[in-house]
Amino acid sequence: MFDLKGYGWMLWDGVQLTLAVAVCAMVVALFLGLIGAWGKLSSVPVARLAAETYTTVIRGVPELILILIVYYGVPTLIQDVAETMGADIFVDFNSFIAGFLTIGFVYGAFATEVFRGAYQAVPRGQIEAAYAIGMSRMLMARRILLPQMWRFALPGLGNVWMVLIKATALISVIQLPELMRNADIAARAVRQPFTFFFAASLIYLAITIVSMTVQHRAEAWANRGVRRS
């Protein structure tokens, strides 16, 4: 269907990197999401404030700006700080690490909201009952809370994953050779921008469709113990 002029391998390389970045970012997002939800529901005011600030700021600032701050800003900041202390160092970030950390950091805020909602969806009575029969906090979390939270969190987390995978295209601006960046390079080399960007868009679409199917299956599996009317 497409004549990619022998540049198809570049798109293939790009897809692999895109998926690698997305998976790493998702792990970071899940980790930060759990911490963030714990902070938001915590009785410690400082933890609540920190979690609240985290989600508020992330929600108000574009991902692109955050990517640029992390990739270009943070190394300069470290250098400036080092300079005031008399050290002359040169810091350079790996664009893969900077990319997945930033995307993970951004979507951690969204995962926070998902986990918080999932926690609140677990009936209070069950938690009370767990304590009443003498479960410790950890045991209660492991046996009662987490197994049910995953079920409530799954639709939201699937959503986070699908927005996240699209957001990885932005890492192309810091020259990580993922799908978007490689499509750009190939498009310039062959001078057929439409062909390559359209091919790239269809690949993203395919990833979305596969993710949707997996999400559907996972939700059916997670809800297997729930009676349907």
In the bound state with another protein, the residue whose beta carbon lies nearer, of 52 and 113, is: 113
In the bound state with another protein, the residue whose beta carbon lies nearer, of 114 and 130, is: 114
| Shortest Cβ 61–another protein spacing (Å) | 5
- Roughly what angle, to the nearest 10 degrees, separates helices 95-121 and 146-167? 140
In the bound state with another protein, the residue whose beta carbon lies nearer, of 24 and 207, is: 207
In the bound state with another protein, the residue whose beta carbon lies nearer, of 208 and 215, is: 208
| Shortest Cβ 170–another protein spacing (Å) | 6
In the bound state with another protein, the residue whose beta carbon lies nearer, of 118 and 140, is: 118
Nearest partner of 172 among 18, 24, 31, judged by Cα: 18
Nearest partner of 93 among 182, 178, 31, 174, judged by Cα: 174
Inter-residue contact 28 to 105 (CB < 8 Å): yes
DSSP alpha helices (H): ranges in 2-73? Answer: 8-41, 45-60, 63-68
Nearest partner of 39 among 138, 107, 112, 106, judged by Cα: 112
Contacts to another protein by CB under 8 A = 57, 59-66, 68-69, 72-74, 76-77, 110, 113-114, 117, 156, 159-160, 163, 166-170, 172-173, 180, 183-184, 187, 191-195, 197-198, 200-201, 204-205, 208-209
| Shortest Cβ 43–another protein spacing (Å) | 20
| Shortest Cβ 175–another protein spacing (Å) | 13
With 0-12 CB in 10 A as exposed, 13-18 as middle and 19+ as buried, what is 138? exposed
User: Measured between alpha carbons, how far is residue 162 from residues 21, 75, 203, 208, 212 in Å?
Assistant: 13, 30, 13, 6, 8
Q: Which residue has the tokens 């005031």?
A: 84
| Shortest Cβ 191–another protein spacing (Å) | 8
In the bound state with another protein, the residue whose beta carbon lies nearer, of 147 and 193, is: 193
| Shortest Cβ 1–another protein spacing (Å) | 16
